[in-house]
Structure 1
Amino acid sequence: MKLKHSLALVAGLALSVSALCAQAAEVLKVSAIPDEAPTELLRKFQPLGAYLEQQLGMPVEFVPVTDYAAVVEALAADRIDLAWLGGFTFVQARLKSGDAAHAAIPLVQRAEDEKFTSKIISADPAVHSLQDLKGKTFAFGSVSSTSGSLMPRYFMLKDGIKPEDFFSRIAYSGAHDATAAWVQAGKADGGVLNASVWDKLVAAGKVDTDKVRVIATTPPYYDYNWTVRGNLDPALRDKLKAAFLALDPANPEHKAILDLQAASRFIETQAENYQGIEEAARAAGLLQ
């Protein structure tokens, strides 16, 4: 009930960044996988939304969703135009959006997303490595999370560790910040979350590093991107890409936007970058 209440609250707040433009004929509808608290997603998006409105000359509206699957469904059904996706949800959206003419198109990714990693953490003083978590409880993020579930699981399996057999119990927190909170509170002996959120929580003092420690880091992989629906007007698609690529860390206003996105800058990306994630998802039985 608490989550539903929070989502309802955010839905009430998530108006167009320019409410006065709400009656305009065209509105760019934007969403994001809920890998953090709904209020945090909106906080991160508002300055970016205002910047995109200015660059595109049209209103931009943030559309919150309840879970990862809802973003994939909304993009495939043309209910949203642009979405912040993880690598796995991008693969799902591209496969679900149909033939090549309508397939979801990845526009840009953060420079950091070329070599993204996940952090395995624990607050148990006796735990110093992943092997020390054998027979203990473990928390992943969302089942559909690239960095909070799919890729860490994939690397565990490559190392001969099947989570269901290795840990005494596994659970899914639903979001990266929730995983850190669970581990800190002792609800799980270990957990995994993406490196970007871990760094942000540490910098904000929202995790006690005297208690919670990183015990392992995964190998790198491609992750997040901004993706548009396949049938979005090509001219608008090009303007969107140009707006992201124009964000300059040397410009203080732009740097504030980039900092909220945990990005040094945005770079172009392509669907081929995510083939490894599709292979990992098929190996894990998450795609048929």
Structure 2
Amino acid sequence: MRNRFIMMLVLAMFLVAGCGNQTRPFIDFSKPQPVDKNSSYATLDQRPIRIALATVISPNETIAHYRKIAEYISRHMGRPAVLIQRKTYEEVNMLLSNGEVDLAFMSTGAFCAYRGLTEIELLSMVEHNQTTLYKAQIIVHKDSDIHSFADLKGHTFAFTDPLSYSGHMAILELLKPQNIRPEQYFSRYLYTYSHDKSIWAVATKAVEAASLDSMIFDYAQARTPELTANLRTISYIGPLPTGPVVINKTLSSDQKDQLRTIFRNMHQDPQMKPVLSGLLIDRFVLPNAELYRPLQKIYDQSGGLT
């Protein structure tokens, strides 16, 4: 009897709560909201420029450098800049698709996989060691008896991000001729969502192998040689184009021109040289869209593999 009374009381409270919706604020997202003409950000050219990134090196290593770039853009555009950091490439792609950012630092794979609702344009691409190309690099522990990709069957593996080319799709492409999926080829696999975490996972034998960006491996060799000394490379895949900087296509022509000039000249500023170096960037150069076409076709054809 007591239990029945408690249940009836809870039900009554629920119904009362359900009847109170009239007093709650309601936002109809299907109706455009008017812009306050008195707002300091009344026009697109006045509001903060929104910059997105997903860190491929551990956030503590890179976020300070990206803040400096955001500040540099802000100074040269004469408007505030907002830096939006996300953990995964998909999250950044969603921000772009929803029109929630104006500019994004993208990985090669994330750009080639992008099929969002909002159109984007290539602004620039990264040049490192006088080239805009890099490779996917498959690493194992130095003590491992694995010497080729064929030897990896039945072993553990670390991917970086589902949308990464060097850290994921490149491996799926190696498996495609065999019509086999990663879960059938490897005994276990995981995603680290960071290239340097993949390096750590192999160096500490948390997994037996990983695939990652060769530029980041070179960076790790310079920064943490005691870690990479425990590793060995068994294969390279590539060359591949470096990750681009993209912009929302709806930006005004003046804004696009401003941003192109800013990125083209950034490396000439003495204060920005160490910032760019900390991100494995010598300078930003004009993008070559044709370099990405073959990889875009791979993502088009990947179907359920991604």
CA drift at 1:157: 3.6
Q: 2:283 aligns with which of 254, 257, 265?
A: 265
Give distance in 1, aligned partners of 2:122 and 2:305. 19
Q: Is 2:249 the counterpart of 1:233?
A: no
For 1:170-212, what per-residue CA distance to the aligned partner results, in whole angstroms no more than 9, with x for missing partners? 2222221111111112111101111122111121116523312
Higher mean displacement: 103-112 or 47-56: 47-56
**Aligned residue in 1 for 2:54:** 33
Preserved contact between residue 155 and residue 218 of structure 1 (Cα < 8 Å): no
Residues 66/110 of structure 1: CA separation in 2 closer, same or farther (3 Å cut): closer
**Corresponding letter in the other structure for 1:74:** L
Tell me the secondary structure at the aligned position of residue 271 of structure 2: helix
Which residues of 2 match residues 1-288 of structure 1 at below 5 A?
25-93=46-114, 95-98=115-118, 103-112=119-128, 114-123=132-141, 124-157=143-176, 163-205=182-224, 208-248=227-267, 252-285=270-303
Preserved contact between residue 96 and residue 116 of structure 2 (Cα < 8 Å): no
Query: Unpaired runs of 5+ in structure 1?
Result: 1-22
Aligned residues: 260
**Aligned residue in 2 for 1:17:** none
Q: Give the structure with the higher percent strand.
A: 2
Higher mean displacement: 71-80 or 34-43: 34-43
**Corresponding letter in the other structure for 2:117:** S
Residues 41/255 of structure 1: CA separation in 2 closer, same or farther (3 Å cut): closer
Preserved contact between residue 42 and residue 62 of structure 1 (Cα < 8 Å): no
Residues 203/282 of structure 1: CA separation in 2 closer, same or farther (3 Å cut): same
Alignment TM-score, normalising by the size of structure 1: 0.81
Give distance in 1, aligned partners of 2:174 and 2:242. 15
Residues 226/144 of structure 1: CA separation in 2 closer, same or farther (3 Å cut): same
Tell me the secondary structure at the aligned position of residue 122 of structure 1: strand
For 1:226-249, what per-residue CA distance to the aligned partner results, in whole angstroms no more than 9, with x for missing partners? 001111122111111111111336
CA drift at 1:218: 1.1
Give distance in 1, aligned partners of 2:174 and 2:69. 34
Query: Unpaired runs of 5+ in structure 2?
Result: 1-39
Residues 205/162 of structure 1: CA separation in 2 closer, same or farther (3 Å cut): same
Tell me the secondary structure at the aligned position of residue 186 of structure 1: coil
Residues 77/199 of structure 1: CA separation in 2 closer, same or farther (3 Å cut): same
**Corresponding letter in the other structure for 1:37:** S
CA drift at 1:282: 2.7
CA drift at 1:169: 2.1
Give distance in 2, aligned partners of 1:117 and 1:126. 23
Preserved contact between residue 146 and residue 223 of structure 1 (Cα < 8 Å): no
CA drift at 1:265: 1.8
Residues 231/187 of structure 1: CA separation in 2 closer, same or farther (3 Å cut): same
Residues 89/209 of structure 1: CA separation in 2 closer, same or farther (3 Å cut): closer
**Corresponding letter in the other structure for 2:261:** A
Give distance in 2, aligned partners of 1:69 and 1:196. 22
Give distance in 1, aligned partners of 2:169 and 2:221. 23
CA drift at 1:270: 4.6
Give distance in 1, aligned partners of 2:101 and 2:226. 34
**Corresponding letter in the other structure for 1:257:** V
Q: Percent identity?
A: 23
Tell me the secondary structure at the aligned position of residue 208 of structure 1: helix
Tell me the secondary structure at the aligned position of residue 240 of structure 2: coil
**Corresponding letter in the other structure for 2:133:** K
What is the RMSD of the two structures over their aligned residues, measured on CA atoms? 2.5
**Aligned residue in 1 for 2:12:** none
Residues 118/263 of structure 1: CA separation in 2 closer, same or farther (3 Å cut): same
Residues 209/86 of structure 1: CA separation in 2 closer, same or farther (3 Å cut): closer
**Corresponding letter in the other structure for 1:133:** L
Give distance in 2, aligned partners of 1:181 and 1:131. 23
